Amino acid sequence: MTDLLPGIALRHVETDRLRTALLTDGRTDGEVVVLVHGNVSSSLFWQQTLLHLPAGFRGIAPDLRGFGDSETRPVDATRGLRDLSDDLAALLDTLGTGPAHLVGWSMGGGVVMQLLLDRPDLVASLGLVNPVSPYGFGGTKGADGELASPDAAGSGGGGANSEFVAAIEAGDMGDRSQNSPRNVMSAFYVADGFRSPLEDVFVASMLTTKLGPDNYPGDSVPSDNWPGFAPGARGILNTMAPQHHDVSGIVDLDTKPPILWVRGTKDAIVSDASLFDLATLGQMGAIPGWPGDEVAPPQPMVTQTRAVLDAYAAAGGSYVEVALDAGHSPLIEKPEEFYAALADHLRG
């Protein structure tokens, strides 16, 4: 792989679930830190973090199924993010890591929270970086994740931008189309016009996303509720539909590892007014027929995460919130501040 930084190595591990690609930092000793990427990306976004882990820790960054160099297999969205978290558990079991420090960015935050629910024996601590809400992405209202409609209309695979999907399929590395991966990253993954010297690597990472109804974006079904579609049962976007994904049960775990929550205050993807939430776009007039705040309000994603983490702390756990002046990707926008927060968390 030509996109690897000096000091980063790629390896493949066969588990009983799939062949998983992962990046390592070359260290052989220390506590294991597992860095889990988000949607439409891969482990390539984590390279700089791998190289800046503090002494006493060693990192691995796997590619989730259907991303990067890992094997492509169908995603059963009715299991929420469990296909991905079970893959991760199989990888850690195969590697024999024991309890590891799990750090998940965006969708990866949902993956590591699901793993905490299902396999707490593998989790020494949790890091959440602009994570998807504990109640999924879209289709809910209020701090407790109440469904806005019985079928969670407006969330899931039907919400993908078809021009963006076509640009991924075409391998578009350019910036001529507003919906090219490069321009989507510049407009939404980061804030304030941030440009990285590794931008080409990140765009290449986005283009590894495998497409189709079983992967990205997934399928959808018609709905009588606005905006006319509801989540299907297949593919990545439907894994985060609220009827499939709910990890608020971490509050009830007997053992509660410490949690670090890092968020960018200018995040346009995961926020209380997400520009990827169709309810927000309807409120703005960008999607016709919006039925109003009583029926389809924007999902308060950050408020929902804070409510669950507050309940987690009240039930005997602990968390630290770090708000950075960044967009959706503080790991690349504010690296020094992010590394410092992560190091403090890991050293505990």
3-state secondary structure 175-203: CCCCCCHHHHHHHHHCCCCCCCCCHHHHH
Q: How far is C-alpha 193 from the geometric centre of its chain's CA atoms?
A: 22
Q: Tens of pLDDT along 130-166? A: 999 999 999 999 999 999 999 999 999 999 999 999 9
Using an 8 Å Cβ cutoff, are 204 and 3 in contact?
A: yes
pLDDT at 1: 53
* pLDDT one-digit tens code per residue, 306-323: 999 999 999 999 999 999
Which domains, and CATH codes, for the chain? 9-347 (3.40.50.1820)
**CB neighbourhood size of 44 (10 A):** 27
Percentage of the chain lying above the pLDDT 70 cut: 99
pTM of the model: 0.98
Measured distance between the N- and C-terminal CA atoms of the chain, rounded to whole angstroms: 35
Report how far residue 340's alpha carbon sits from residue 169's, in angstroms, rounded to the nearest whole number. 37
- Run of H or E including 11: strand 9-14
Residue 32: CB partners within 8 Å, gap ≥ 6?
57, 58, 59, 60, 97, 98, 100, 101
Residues 6+ apart with CB under 8 A from 251: 308, 311, 312, 315, 317
| 55-95 pLDDT tens trace | 999 999 999 999 999 999 999 999 999 999 999 999 999 99
Distance set, CA 201 to CA 10, 69, 173, 290, 321 (Å): 15, 14, 10, 38, 29
Provide the token pair at 12: 């493949």
pLDDT at 25: 94
What are the tens digits of pLDDT across the range 232-275? 999 999 999 999 999 999 999 999 999 999 999 999 999 999 99
Q: Which residues are CB-neighbours of 148 under 8 A, at least 6 positions away?
A: 139, 140, 141, 154, 279, 295, 296, 297, 299
What is residue 98's three-state secondary structure?
coil
The answer to whether the beta carbons of residues 210 and 67 sit under 8 Å apart is: yes
